[in-house]
Amino acid sequence: MNNYTKITPEDMAKGQAILQNINNYYYSKMVGQYQLGTSLLITLMCNGHILVESVPGLAKTTAAKIMTEAVNGSFSRIQCTPDLLPSDIIGSQIFNYSTNTFETKIGPVMANFVLLDEINRSSAKTQSAMLEVMQEQQLTIGGEKYKMPDVFTVIATQNPIEQEGTYLLAEAQLDRFLIKEKLKYPNQNEEFEILNRIEQNVFATCEAVASIEDVRFIQKLTKQVYLDDSIKRYIIQIIDATRNPAAYIGPKLAQYVTLGSSTRGAIALMEVSKAVALINGRDFVIPEDVKKMIYSVLRHRVTLNYAAVADNVIPENIINTILGVIPTP
């Protein structure tokens, strides 16, 4: 039997109130982009990192800032360019001539929320500077280790890789992101509302509706959500199917898959499922919670080959087929 601490009705009520306040604040400023709002909230609940992909101008940066405002967290924005250096992100040692000693200057990455804008415009060397920070929750400068804040989330944005002047993110870098979202253009009604809100200057005021302490409480609560062994095995089967697709979905679709999900993907699917359950007011996970965010968790962990690009096969096609063949517990 799993060992877990049952969530009390009082804690559940408090958690629901915090989540509702954050959600209401987000949508008081954002129009549409509901999947992004859910993904940002879940990323916050799991203390993870999120990669957001779209063409410029679809409010990726705005969404990140709004979520930070909601919980009164510290915020850093790093504009990624081809000439950006790792030291520009994590910091470096600077020689002080007056004292003849080196002084450590920590970079902008030391914040609760770090926005890496257009991450795929930076070089592979600069992208790799974030690996230790994102996975180990620490940075190293001059042999000294510095712990990141307890609440630490990287929100990275990227333009579609087919655009000029971009660099593919390495698989190891992609795997550090709990979730990857793809944004679409708003519809006409949503765009009309956006123009109205810009006229009303709704972004001029910002008032926190929660605190970092509230975020820590929500994160602790998320970990307490019960996950039955049958759900764990369901998650494991899904992950195994991405690694051995021919055994599950047949050779026709399997030929497009180059690489399946790592164990980190299974952990991410477990954590995200718990967050989905908590958002829905439950202290236990059901199979629908796993399915709810499965594209967001696995689309960047299932690597396809060039034949898939030629035949217009995307990771979501593979994931959807896998869900169709694996029995739901």
AA letter at 232: K
The structural domains of the chain, with segments of one domain joined by +, span 225-329
- Cα–Cα distance for residue pair 103/140, rounded to 1 Å: 14
Residue 1 pLDDT: 43
CATH topology of domain 225-329: Helicase, Ruva Protein; domain 3 (1.10.8)
Residue 162 pLDDT: 60
**Number of CB atoms found within 10 A of residue 301's CB:** 24
105-142 pLDDT, tens digit per residue, is 888 999 999 999 888 888 888 888 887 788 888 888 87
Give the residue-averaged pLDDT of 291-295.
95
SS3 label, residue 73: coil
| Average predicted confidence (pLDDT) for the chain | 89
65-80 pLDDT, tens digit per residue, is 888 889 988 889 999 8
Assess contact for 89 and 194: CB atoms under 8 A.
Answer: no
165-194 pLDDT, tens digit per residue, is 677 888 888 899 999 999 888 899 989 998
Question: Does 203 have pLDDT greater than 80?
Answer: no
Strand segments (E) across 21-106: 50-53, 75-79, 91-96, 101-106
Give the residue-averaged pLDDT of 267-285.
96
CA dihedral angle for residue 240, residue 245, residue 247, residue 249, rounded to 10 degrees: 120
Q: What is the length of the chain?
A: 329
Task: Kindly state the greatest CA–CA separation across the chain.
Answer: 69
- To which H or E segment does residue 115 belong? strand 113-117
For the ranges 19-28, 83-92, 298-307, which has the lowest average pLDDT? 83-92
Q: Read off the tokens for 172.
A: 């190891």
User: Among residues 127, 59, 52, which one has the least CA distance to residue 88?
Assistant: 127
Instruction: Using DSSP bridges, classify how beta strands 101-106 and 144-147 pair: parallel, antiparallel or unpaired.
Output: unpaired
User: Among residues 239, 227, 178, 200, which one has the least CA distance to residue 3?
Assistant: 227
- Cα–Cα distance for residue pair 155/66, rounded to 1 Å: 12
